[in-house]
């Protein structure tokens, strides 16, 4: 499975934007970039995914580099409820539901 | 739409016993996968079922098994429990096996004493 690299931790202030980076230099042409987050005592929650173009949904935006070797999850206005571990994962069309989770980025949001 | 439901939420078992965990996927989702989460190893893939057939298996011993029913509901079984099996077991469902995202339940917390 192609590997992703994320910072171990990041900190933000409430109501400020947060940019969570992810490097995936060995991504293949058919790999989708997925982001999940996990709050304490809960299962991972799907956030957003994309292939080549930038994507927006009600939770976040995903900016994908032109060469697809990196991406950034953008939370436009962080809230205390956004404090979680964020995972960047590559999902190939042939990998089914087999996801390889790394250690993710622990996001702390300060009031 | 109801999310992924896992039962029971908490379970305490003794070494050597066996345990069965249950998962009800989101309505219409045909793929169900299971993951184990521990502080030391993080989230690790156990297996995936689609249309009642195991499609993928992680690197776990044969004591870990599962199955999927015709209504897409799934169960996983762990036999001859060991202390190291204490973990959060997460079930996820997906519309298909391709690009669709996974939707996770909140897990079953298993403690083996």
Each residue's pLDDT tens digit, B73-84 = 999 999 999 999
Q: Note the pLDDT of residue B97.
A: 84
Predicted confidence (pLDDT) per residue in A56-105, tens digit: 999 999 999 999 999 999 999 999 999 999 999 999 877 788 888 989 99
**CA-to-CA separations, B45 to B13, B42, B57, in angstroms, rounded:** 22, 10, 8
A46: confidence class by pLDDT, cuts 50, 70, 90:
very high
Query: For residue B77, which of B103, B104, B54 has the smallest C-alpha distance?
Result: B54
Across chain B, mean pLDDT equals 95
Give the residue carrying structure tokens 């404090």: A83
Q: Using a pLDDT cut of 90, give the percent of chain B over it.
A: 92
113 residues of chain B, pLDDT tens digit each: 679 999 999 999 999 999 999 999 999 999 999 999 999 889 999 999 999 999 999 999 999 999 999 999 999 999 999 999 999 999 999 998 888 899 999 999 999 99
The pairing of strands B64-68 and B74-78 is: antiparallel
CB contact under 8 A, A96 and B101: no
Give the CA angle between residues B61, B67, B70 to the nearest 5°: 165
CB contact under 8 A, B99 and A97: no
Host H or E run for residue A36: strand A32-38
Taking the C-alpha atoms of residue B76 and residue B91, their distance in angstroms, rounded to an integer, is 9
Taking the C-alpha atoms of residue B53 and residue A64, their distance in angstroms, rounded to an integer, is 35
Strands of the B5-7 sheet, one edge to the other: B5-7, B19-24, B74-78, B64-68
Query: Do A8 and A65 contact (CB within 8 A), yes or no?
Result: no
Collapse the DSSP code of A80 into the 3-class scheme (helix H, G, I; strand E, B; otherwise coil) and give the result: helix
Collapse the DSSP code of A81 into the 3-class scheme (helix H, G, I; strand E, B; otherwise coil) and give the result: helix
Please, what's the largest Cα pairwise distance for chain A? 42
Residues of A in contact with B44 (CB under 8 A): 101
- Decide if pLDDT at A1 tops 80: no
Q: Note the pLDDT of residue A86.
A: 98
Burial class (CB in 10 A: 0-12, 13-18, 19+), B84: exposed
Interface of B with A (CB under 8 A): 4, 31-33, 35, 42-45, 48, 50, 55-56, 58, 90, 92, 94, 97-99, 101-107
CB contact under 8 A, A98 and B43: no
């Amino acid at each position: 499975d192609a590997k992703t690299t994320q910072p171990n931790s990041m900190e933000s202030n409430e109501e400020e934007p947060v940019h969570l980076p992810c490097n995936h230099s060995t991504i293949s042409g058919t790999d989708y970039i997925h982001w999940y987050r996990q709050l304490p005592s809960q299962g991972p929650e799907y956030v957003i995914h994309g292939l080549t173009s930038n994507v927006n949904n009600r939770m976040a935006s995903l900016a994908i580099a032109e060469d697809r070797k990196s991406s950034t999850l953008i939370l436009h206005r962080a809230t205390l409820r956004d404090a979680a571990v964020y995972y960047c994962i590559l999902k190939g069309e042939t990998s089914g539901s087999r996801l390889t989770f790394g250690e993710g980025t622990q996001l702390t949001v300060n009031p | 739409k109801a999310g992924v439901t896992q039962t029971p939420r908490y379970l305490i078992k003794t070494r050597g016993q066996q345990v069965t965990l249950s998962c009800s996927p989101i309505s219409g989702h045909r793929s169900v996968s299971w993951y184990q989460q521990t502080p030391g190893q993080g989230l690790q893939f156990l297996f995936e079922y689609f249309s009642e057939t195991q499609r993928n298996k992680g690197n776990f011993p044969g004591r870990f098994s599962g199955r999927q029913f015709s209504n897409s509901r799934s169960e996983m079984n762990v036999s001859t429990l060991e202390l190291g099996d204490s973990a959060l077991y997460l079930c996820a469902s997906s519309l298909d096996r391709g690009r669709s995202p996974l939707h996770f339940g909140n897990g079953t917390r298993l403690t083996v004493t």
